[in-house]
Amino acid sequence: MTIQDRSNLPTTLAEKRAALRPLEDRGEVLETPLALLRAYRFTPQSVAFVRNSNPYPEGTETLEAPSMTGTLEVGGLIGRPFTLDLADLASFPLREVEAVMQCAGNGRAFYRDAHLIEGCQWGRGGVMNVLWGGVPLSALLADSHVLADARFLTATGGDGDGDGFEKSVPLADALDVGIVAYRMNGEALGGVHGGPARLLVPGFYGTVNVKWLRKLTLTRDETSHEAQQERYRTLHPDGRRTPCWRQLLKSVIWTPEEGEIVRGTVTFSGCAFNDGRSSISKVELSVDGGRSWSEATLEVESSRFGWRRWELVATLARGEHEVWCRATDEHGVTQPLDPEDDWNPDGYEFNAADKVRFEVR
């Protein structure tokens, strides 16, 4: 059940920093506590997680929305390159989409030897569920005559030292569901979250959803930028290094929290989500190490890209317990039980069954 009480939400970036958990990195990183994640259907901007690889561009280190000044350059493998004033985005049809955005490193702290893995030690809070609003990329590029050999959309942001932050995504996905987002939960997009405009490709990890957008380039190959080639690529046991693109199936336990003491019946609750390419069919919980499973009540899907809340009420004996949670999609794909099945040296794309220890008294 959502609380939806907005009376005590942060109103400044300083208050947001105090309410969230700071993580160390070269850019600002703030993790959202579970109590704030579960309180709202759409995660408010003022408590949504922050992951910046670089310092803020001038004038964007604020919860306020920057003015829609500046331009968006669109070029590459198109017959008609063009430059658009950001203020003109409002002249296009508005598309709204409920979608989860998650850092590719979310859950890194749950891998074996996590302290030896480079990167922020994310717990469960590097994720948000948001109603995004913006211009469909298909509409933006409708008259640009996309050339046949264009395979990727490369987005360049305004942060960093001159060359910005640059990521590539498959063009087919960008044209199918992507938008240039300038609204977040019905409000103008705040500077801290990429305003005045950012890329949003629903179902993809946050790293590709470039903030402070200044350029879109249609390309034959992925960008050579280090953010694409050196970082945010998952090393697999067979030696392949694949980009962190589509979100893996995942469930998260919101209650009880780790180490919590529960009195009486136990209300297990949380959310489940994936990349939106398949429907989540069930969420199951186990309190006996995976020997038996009970199916939770899963809310009706409101968006294929949004998270779905689940709940299960149980009566347990007094003492210490550990609950496991796993989601399964319509094709029978389920989460691995052992986080080491997908261990990688950068700690990306964690999606093992969530596990929480608590006590009943």
Phi/psi of residue 129, nearest 5 degrees: -120, 120
CB distance 10 to 98 below 8 Å: no
Question: Taking the CA of residue 140 as centre, how many other CA atoms within 13 Å lie in the half-sphere pointing to its CB?
Answer: 33
- Report the C-alpha gap between 56 and 347 in whole angstroms: 25
Q: Which residues contact 297 (CB under 8 A, 6 or more apart)?
A: 310, 311, 312
Which pair of structure tokens corresponds to residue 276?
A: 């939106």
Which pLDDT does position 342 carry in this prediction?
Answer: 82
Matching CATH topology for 13-243 and 250-360? no
- Specify the pairing of strand 71-76 against strand 308-314: unpaired
- Report the C-alpha gap between 162 and 158 in whole angstroms: 8
Which pLDDT does position 216 carry in this prediction?
Answer: 98
- What digits encode the pLDDT tens for the residues 185-227? 999 999 999 999 999 999 999 999 999 999 999 999 999 999 9
Residue labelled with tokens 């694409």:
228
| DSSP helix/strand/coil, 18 | helix
Residue 195 CB: number of other CB atoms within 10 A?
A: 29
Residues pairing with 297 in the sheet: 311
**Residue of 240, 100, 219 whose CA lies nearest to 167:** 219
CATH of 250-360, one of 2.60.40.10, 2.60.40.650, 3.40.50.620, 3.40.30.10: 2.60.40.650
- Specify the pairing of strand 71-76 against strand 213-219: parallel
Q: How far is CA 134 from the centre of its chain?
A: 17
- Report the C-alpha gap between 21 and 33 in whole angstroms: 7
Which pair of structure tokens corresponds to residue 302?
A: 């409101």
Residue 163 CB: number of other CB atoms within 10 A?
A: 10
- Report the C-alpha gap between 77 and 85 in whole angstroms: 21
Which pLDDT does position 1 carry in this prediction?
Answer: 41
Strand order in the sheet with 261-262: 261-262, 354-360, 319-329, 280-286, 294-295
- Report the C-alpha gap between 224 and 159 in whole angstroms: 17
Instruction: Tell me what percent of the chain is helix, strand and coil, each rounded to the nearest 5.
Output: 15, 35, 50
- Strand stretches in 91-207, DSSP E: 95-102, 127-136, 152-157, 166-170, 179-184, 187-188, 198-200
Q: Which residues contact 310 (CB under 8 A, 6 or more apart)?
A: 251, 269, 270, 271, 272, 283, 296, 297, 298, 299
**What b/e sequence results for 276-303 when a residue is b if at least 16 CB atoms lie within 10 Å of its CB, and e otherwise?**
beeebebbbbbbeeeeebeebebeeeeb
- What digits encode the pLDDT tens for the residues 54-63? 999 999 999 9
Question: What CATH number has the domain spanning 13-243?
Answer: 3.90.420.10
Rounded to two decimals, the pTM is 0.95
Residue labelled with tokens 């922050």:
50
Domain boundaries, the chain: 13-243, 250-360
- Listed as ranges, residues in the chain with pLDDT below 50 are 1
- Report the C-alpha gap between 214 and 269 in whole angstroms: 40
